[in-house]
């Protein structure tokens, strides 16, 4: 028991490396924000492709479904390793894309963002789809009967309603996304887990990992509570005018 | 949570049962062995049941693969470390059994009794000596700078402002931090990851143990060693602090292996050159006089 506490709860080591770990955690947040913004858009695009109507869009629907299924089934860690290990060798791409150093960020950062966007785009597409499918089909029929095209109906009728139904599950995805930014450590990007493990290798003590966990707790716990609150509020809205709080 | 942990510890202690004398335990029965399950414990127990010379198991932790020091598949590990340990084992009547383990936690693990010894191309450093005891040196090491063929980097001095890779928790990384003045130093979890990054062109140089660099340059192609940096470093076998009995046995075994030529045989097999026996013996004497 004593060894356990010495190994993971050495507050001296936590204090000594606080600044270092905090700075690295900011890198996690940065990956998160960049990846989240792109993935939210990419996911919506995928969801709309998946709903594209009629015969002529069959190839798009099939491709989109295949993409979503595959990317949800393959471990994110493997996607990260494949992108960072494979993309540099794609000779037909310009060097700036093969080895990106955009905005002063090193290539592992962008490989990590790309992998997170690819995978979380697929997850988020499913969240949007659930939202779209939760809009009663009569809405689409009504919009089409008023002479709107499928795209117009989607844009003005369906998506605005669907979007109100996605925040809670989407927030869950975002919490996962934030935690999964630590996987980018495997391609040597200096985020908090990598830095903590470096400290572990130097000091032979794992307390920096617990400190990192604490940073994630501070961000993710309120997030989880917010999800619960949103779900509850949404249930209230759904239950036709019954605003009775059930204790 | 706390209750659960106490439960786990109790189970582990019970599992190890009848006090295992081979590893002078004490604080060893912690959470760590619980994760790897009963495997290690039972092996130690079987070792105890048949204490007659020849066959007693000696569990050795090692970060595999790290060719040419340790490589191969589970159950048939091979390499310089593995074969040298087998030679030492023969001299002292123990049969080494290698267990794959992550390098960054390997010293903590041996200090906590997950295995009895560490032999993983591990450099003897003051930091590490605080947590474990080392044998006398069994190998004199150099670091090598690996670059892509045709690179304009000619050595350590040219690494200034470059993107340099090394393996997490290794001396190569330390050397990079202290002497390279790189614009970015990337610690990869495994050595081969760093080599791949070098081949891919995402890093411009890799600092890694010289024999490892030599083998990887030969196998991968397209990359070459431009400079070897002597570091006054020696590799040692580590055991739990205070386990002087085992250390003395290992030191004795190593000496015998050097004397009867089995060290030279293993060295020549894996490094394709004659071992620097004089320098090694000098290093051993120095270590003994400390």
* pLDDT tens per residue across span A167-221: 888 988 999 999 999 999 989 888 999 999 888 877 778 889 999 999 999 999 9
DSSP assignment letter at A130: H
A97 CA: distance to closest CA in chain B (Å):
12
Nearest to A88 among B9, B27, B200 (CB): B200
State the nearest Cα–Cα gap between B95 and chain A, in angstroms.
29
Please give the C-alpha separations between residue A57 and each of A50, A53, A97, A126, in angstroms, as whole numbers: 9, 6, 30, 19
Dump the DSSP string for chain B. -HHHHHHHHHHHHHHH-S--TTTT-SS--SHHHHHHTTHHHHHHHHHHH--SGGGEEEEEEE-S-BTTTBBS-TTS-BSHHHHHHHHHHHHHTEEEEEEE--GGGHHHHHHTTSSSEE-SS-B--HHHHTTEEE-S--EEEEEEEEEETT-S--SGGGGTTSEEEEETTSHHHHHIIIII--SEEEEESSHHHHHHHHHHTSSSEEEEEHHHHHHHHHHH-SEEEEEEEEEEEEE--EEETT-HHHHHHHHHHHHHHHHTTHHHHHHHHHHSS---HHHHHHHHHHHHH-
B133, two tokens = 């005891």
Give the helix/strand (H/E) hosting A132.
helix A107-134
Tell me the C-alpha distance between B122 and B139, whole Å. 10
Which pLDDT score is estimated for B204?
92
B153-163 pLDDT, tens digit each: 888 888 888 89
- Note whether B187 contacts A194, CB cutoff 8 Å: yes
Asked if the Cβ–Cβ distance from B186 to A4 is below 8 Å, we say: no
Residue to mutate among B12, B31, B166, B200, with most A CBs inside 10 A, is B200
Residues of chain A with pLDDT under 70: 235-247
Contacts across the A-B interface (CB distance below 8 Å): 72
Give the containing element (helix H, strand E) for A76. Answer: helix A76-86
Between B30, B130, B196, which is nearest A85 by CB? B196
Average pLDDT over residues B87-109: 91
Closest chain B C-alpha to A89 CA, distance in angstroms: 6
Q: Is 0.90 surpassed by the pTM of this model? A: no
Does the structure show a pLDDT above 50 at B47? no
ipTM over 0.85: no
Instruction: Locate the chain B residue with the closest alpha carbon to A91.
Output: B200
pLDDT of residue B54: 53
Contact with chain B for residue A3, Cβ under 8 A = yes
Give me the residue from B169, B187, B200 closest to A89, CB to CB: B200
CATH number of A2-246: 1.10.3720.10
Per-residue model confidence as pLDDT tens digits over B168-212 = 888 888 888 888 888 889 999 888 888 888 988 889 999 998 888
Does B186 contact A85 at a Cβ distance shorter than 8 Å?
no
- DSSP-derived letter for residue A16 is H
């Amino acid at each position: 028991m004593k060894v356990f506490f010495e190994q993971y709860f050495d507050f001296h080591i936590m204090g000594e490396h606080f600044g270092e770990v905090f700075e690295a955690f900011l890198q996690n947040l940065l990956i998160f924000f960049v990846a989240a913004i792109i993935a939210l858009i990419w996911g919506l695009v995928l969801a709309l492709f998946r709903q594209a109507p009629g015969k002529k869009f069959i190839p798009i629907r099939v491709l989109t479904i295949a993409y979503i299924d595959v990317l949800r089934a393959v471990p994110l860690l493997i996607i990260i390793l494949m992108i960072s290990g494979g993309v540099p060798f794609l000779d037909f791409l310009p060097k700036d894309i093969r080895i990106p150093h955009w905005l002063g960020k090193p290539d592992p950062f962008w490989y990590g963002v790309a992998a997170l966007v690819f995978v979380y785009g697929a997850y988020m597409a499913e969240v949007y789809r659930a939202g779209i499918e939760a809009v009663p089909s009569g809405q689409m029929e009504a919009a089409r009967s008023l002479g709107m095209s499928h795209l117009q109906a989607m844009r003005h009728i369906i998506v605005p309603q669907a979007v109100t139904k996605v925040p809670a599950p989407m927030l869950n995805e975002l919490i996962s996304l934030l935690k999964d930014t630590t996987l980018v450590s495997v391609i040597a990007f200096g985020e908090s887990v990598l830095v903590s493990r470096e400290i572990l290798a130097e000091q032979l003590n794992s307390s920096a990992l617990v400190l990192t966990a604490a940073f994630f707790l501070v961000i993710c716990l309120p997030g989880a509570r917010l999800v619960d609150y949103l779900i509850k509020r949404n249930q209230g809205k759904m239950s036709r005018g019954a605003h009775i709080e059930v204790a | 949570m706390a209750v659960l942990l106490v439960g786990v510890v109790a189970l582990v202690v019970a599992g190890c049962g009848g006090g295992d004398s081979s590893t002078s335990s004490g604080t060893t029965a912690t959470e760590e062995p619980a994760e790897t399950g009963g495997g290690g414990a039972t092996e130690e127990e079987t070792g105890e049941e048949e204490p007659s010379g020849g066959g007693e198991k000696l569990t050795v932790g090692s970060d595999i693969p790290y060719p040419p020091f340790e490589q191969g598949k589970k159950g048939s590990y091979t390499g310089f470390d593995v074969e040298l340990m087998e030679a030492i084992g023969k001299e002292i009547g123990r049969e080494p059994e290698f267990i794959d383990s992550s390098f960054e936690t390997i010293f903590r693990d041996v200090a906590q009794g997950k295995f009895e010894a560490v032999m993983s191309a591990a450099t003897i450093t003051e930091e590490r000596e605080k947590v474990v005891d080392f044998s006398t040196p069994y190998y004199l090491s150099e670091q090598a700078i690996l670059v892509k063929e045709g690179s304009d980097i000619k050595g350590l001095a040219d690494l200034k402002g470059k993107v340099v890779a090394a393996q997490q928790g290794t001396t190569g990384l330390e050397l990079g931090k202290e002497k390279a003045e790189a614009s970015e130093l990337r610690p990869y979890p495994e050595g081969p990851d760093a080599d791949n990054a070098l081949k891919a062109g995402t890093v411009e140089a890799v600092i890694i143990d010289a024999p490892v660099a030599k083998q990887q340059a030969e196998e991968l192609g397209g990359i070459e060693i431009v400079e070897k940096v002597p570091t006054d470093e020696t590799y040692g076998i580590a055991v739990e602090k205070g386990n002087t009995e085992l250390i003395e046995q290992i030191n004795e075994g190593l000496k015998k292996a050097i004397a009867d030529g089995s060290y030279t045989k293993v060295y020549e097999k894996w490094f394709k050159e004659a071992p620097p026996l004089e320098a090694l013996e000098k290093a051993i004497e120095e270590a003994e006089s400390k």
